[in-house]
Amino acid sequence: MTVSRGAWLAFLTSILFMSIWIHALAVFLLILGMFIIATYVFYPPFLKERLIKFFVFSDTSSIDRKFIWRAGWKMFISNPWIGVGLGTFMFNFKKFIAEDYQYSAAYAHNCYLQMASEMGLIGLLAFLFILGLFFYHGIKILNSRERNFYWYTLLASQAAIIGYCVQMGVDTTLYSLDLGMLFWLVMGIGVAALKNLEGVHLSK
């Protein structure tokens, strides 16, 4: 059983997003939460320990992230508009990390901080603008169209992307070749569904 906080938060965010339109999911989450709390006393010790660690941020992974995020923030502040250069985080890391930190880091473990440090505000805002357009038009369509295959496809893609965005806050999944491709593929499917729903509306 994984205790990756980012993955669980991403999953819960996606489910909560979908429950805005599919209310049965909200009921499911409530029942599941009550079940987990009610049966906690019966869990084996190793499972209890893992669940407790989920809410504790003093583990090695969390401490490492704090060091890396501080260095990433300093890197961003050093050149806030255009950043230090795409793909150069790992090369600039040692210039900004605390002297007592003995390890290197190829990525910032936060996609937004990675973009800000490497591409500055210009690069980060360009990416956020694309996300904003996707969610704005997607939610607008979800609220105004009849439910069909394309409607559910759009909802699923929006939920997946919003969960991905949560995960990007604690990891650099977008910089992984396969996971980065998956992000743009899912968004592309969502845009295709959105355009189809717009076309159906215009043809009526």
The per-residue pLDDT for 21 is 94
| CA-CA-CA-CA torsion sign (99, 101, 103, 105) | negative
The per-residue pLDDT for 82 is 95
* 38 has pLDDT over 90: no
Q: Tell me the C-alpha distance between 131 and 136, whole Å.
A: 8
pTM comes to 0.85
| Both tokens assigned to 83 | 């950043």
* 64 has pLDDT over 70: yes
Q: Tell me the C-alpha distance between 141 and 133, whole Å.
A: 12
Q: Tell me the C-alpha distance between 167 and 172, whole Å.
A: 8
Percentage of the chain exceeding pLDDT 90: 56
Residue among 58, 65, 88, 64 at smallest CA distance from 76: 88
Of the two residues 31 and 50, the one the predictor is more confident about is 31
Lowest mean pLDDT among 24-33, 105-114, 174-183: 24-33
| Both tokens assigned to 70 | 């501080």
Q: Tell me the C-alpha distance between 9 and 13, whole Å.
A: 6
* Helical ranges in 58-108 per DSSP H: 60-78, 89-96
Where along the chain do its domains lie? 5-203
pLDDT digits over 107-164, tens only?
A: 899 999 999 999 999 999 999 999 999 999 999 999 999 999 999 999 999 999 999 9
Q: Tell me the C-alpha distance between 136 and 78, whole Å.
A: 33
pLDDT digits over 77-106, tens only?
A: 999 999 999 999 999 988 888 777 777 888
